Chain A
Amino acid sequence: MRRTLLGLAGTVALLLGLATPSLAFEPVNVVHTEKVQAGPYDLTVGFSTWPVKAMQSLDFTFAPEDGIAGKKGTLTMLHSGVAQDDGPLARHPRKREVWGLDIHAMPEPGTWTLRFDVEGPAGAGTGELKNLQVMEQPGPPMGLSWAISTIPLFGLIALIVIAWRRTRTTVE
C-alpha cells in the first residue's frame, strides 16, 4: 500500500516538474490582411492562415491603426447575411496589443461577413468585411469522422447486449 502511494506521489511530482518548462505558446503569425473602415477608424483584419476553410481553426487579429487604447466595440459574424455569433471585441490572448479571436474556426463554408461596431475618442463607427469566402472543410467527410469516433460507444453497446443476454435471472 505504502509503495503504491509512493509510486503515485512520484508520478504526480514528475508530471508537475515536467509541465512548467514545456509550456511554449505559438506566436500569432499573420499571413494575410484585409482593411475595414469602421466610421473614423481604420481596422486591419489579420488571418493566421489563408484561405480560410470551414472548421479549420486560426488566429484572427483586429487592429485599429492608432491602437486599441480608449476604444471598445462588438464583433458580429454573419453567414449569408444572417447573424450567427456576436461578442465584445477582446484582446487576443497571445497578442495583447490588438483585439482578436484565438484558434477560432468558422463553422460553415460559404460567404461570411464580419461586422465591427467600434466606439472610441473619435465617436462611434460601423464597418464590415464583406464576402469573406470560407472554403469547404478539409479532411474526410464528417459522417466518417463521427463513425470512427463513436466506435467505443458501439463497443459498449455490444458489451451491454452480451451482458443482457447472459443475465436474464434476477440476483437478490
Chain B
Amino acid sequence: MDITAVASPARTVPRGLVPASVVLGGTLLSLIGLTWDIQWHSDVGPDTFFTMPHLFLYAGSAISGLASLAVVLMTTADTKRAKEVDPIVGGRAVGVFGRTFAAPVGYLISGVGAALFLVYGLWDQWWHGLYGFDAVIDSPPHIGLLLSISITMVGAVMIFAVARDQRWGTYGVAASAATLLAFSMVTVLGLRALPGGPVNTVNAGSAFFSVMILFMGAYVLKQRGGALTVAVVVAALQALFWWFSPWATEVYADATGLPLRDYADGIPGLPNMIPMSLVLVAIAVELLHKLPAWVSGAVGGVIITACAPLQRMLTYGSPFPNTERYIATVVAGAVLGALAGMLGRRFGHMLRHLVPAKENRHA
C-alpha cells in the first residue's frame, strides 16, 4: 500500500511536509547564522548581543522550537479528543509529563533542543558577564549552545526519516543530515579541550562525526547513492557558504559603517572546517558497500584525517604537520572511522524503525 494514501485526496501538500520544512528551515537559519558569525569575528570583530548573525542563530532555534511546539500541542489536542493521530507527522506520539502532552518523537527531540538553546543562552550570558564578551567559539557555554542546536538538527533528521518512503522524506533526510554534518564540524572544536597527545583531536573528531552522519544517512535511505547524496548536499552547502560568508560579512560591515580588520584574510571559516574530501569518502562508501561497515568507515576516517592538513595547506598556506602528529591522527581517524561506520549504520537502522508500520505488514 502506498503510504500517501493516508493523506486526504483534497490535500495538495503531503501531510507532515509543512512543519518538517519549517523545522529544517530553522536549522538552516542556525547554520547560516553560525557561518556568518564566525566570519564576522575573524574579518570585522565588534560584537553585541544583537548582531545580524546572532539574530539568525536565535531565530533558527526559535522557528524550529515554535514549529515543534505547535505540532506537539496539536497532537496533544487530537489525542485528548480521541482523534486518530497520523504518525507520518514526526513519528509515534509519546507521553510527556505522564500523559499531559502527546509528542511525536521527532518533534519532541527538535523541541527539546530548542528549549535547551534558551537555557544555555542564559548560561552563556552569565559566562560573558564573568569572562567578558569573548569571541571564543569553543567556550563551554558556546559548545552547550552548539550541542543544543545539534539536538534540534537530530530531531529534524528523525522527522524526515519517518517519511523516508516518500520523496520529500528522502530529500529531507539528505538535507537535514547534511545540515547536521556541516554544523558538527564547528561543535568538534570543543575537542581542543581534550588532551590528545600527538593526535589532532579536532581532525579526528571531524572524521568521526562526518563518517557517522554519512553512514547514518546512507543506511536510513538504504538505497545506492545514499551516502553520495548526503555528501553532495554537504558540498553544495560548503560551496554556497564559501561565497556567502565573506560576502555577507563585507556587506554587513559596509551597512554598519565598520571597516574590515587589518590583515583580514577573507578565507571562509566554517566552510573550510568541512572536509573537502567528503565526496571521496562517500564514493569509497558506495564502492565498498558489500564490505562490513567498519571497513569502509575506517577507510573514510583515513581519507578525512589524511586530507585535512592538505586542505589547510591549500587554503591557508599552512605548513604540513610533523610526521608523528600526522601518522598518529590518521591512525586515530582509522579507529574512530571504523567505530563511526558501525554506529552510523546502527543509527540508520534505528531511524528506519520510526516509519509507521504499513497496514499489510505484521511487525
Interfacial residues, chain A to chain B (CB-CB below 8 A): 1, 4, 8, 11-12, 15-16, 18-20, 22-26, 49, 55-58, 87-88, 90-91, 93-94, 96, 102-103, 105, 138-139, 142, 145-146, 148-153, 155-156, 159-160, 163-164, 166-167, 170-171
Q: Give bound CA distance, A47 to B22, whole Å.
A: 46
B residues in contact with A155, CB < 8 Å: 112, 151
Option from A11, A25, A149 in Cβ contact (under 8 Å) with B120: A149
B residues in contact with A15, CB < 8 Å: 55, 59
Assess whether A1 is in contact with B18, with CB atoms less than 8 Å apart: yes
Assess whether A8 is in contact with B46, with CB atoms less than 8 Å apart: no
Assess whether A152 is in contact with B151, with CB atoms less than 8 Å apart: yes
Assess whether A24 is in contact with B48, with CB atoms less than 8 Å apart: yes
Beyond contacts A19-B55, A20-B255, A148-B123: 19 other A-B pairs, Cβ-Cβ < 8 A, are A4-B22, A8-B63, A19-B51, A22-B50, A25-B46, A55-B131, A57-B131, A88-B262, A96-B259, A103-B132, A146-B143, A149-B140, A152-B150, A166-B353, A167-B350, A167-B353, A170-B349, A171-B352, A171-B355
B128-148 interface with A by 8 A CB criterion: 130-136, 140-141, 143-144, 147-148
Q: Give bound CA distance, A52 to B109, whole Å.
A: 42
0 or 1 for each of B207-243: is its CB under 8 Å from A? (1 = yes): 0000000000000000000000000000000000000
Assess whether B59 is in contact with A11, with CB atoms less than 8 Å apart: yes
Assess whether B50 is in contact with A18, with CB atoms less than 8 Å apart: yes
Assess whether B147 is in contact with A25, with CB atoms less than 8 Å apart: no
Option from B131, B141, B144, B258 in Cβ contact (under 8 Å) with A105: B131
Query: Looking across the interface, which residue of chain A has its beta carbon closest to that of B142?
Result: A149
List, sorted by A's number, 12 A–B pairs whose CB atoms are closer than 8 Å.
A4-B22, A18-B50, A57-B134, A90-B262, A93-B45, A93-B46, A93-B261, A94-B45, A139-B131, A142-B193, A149-B123, A152-B148
Tell me how far the C-beta of B60 lies from the nearest C-beta in chain A, rounded to whole angstroms: 11
Q: Give bound CA distance, A171 to B219, whole Å.
A: 11
Assess whether B147 is in contact with A153, with CB atoms less than 8 Å apart: yes
Assess whether B130 is in contact with A93, with CB atoms less than 8 Å apart: no
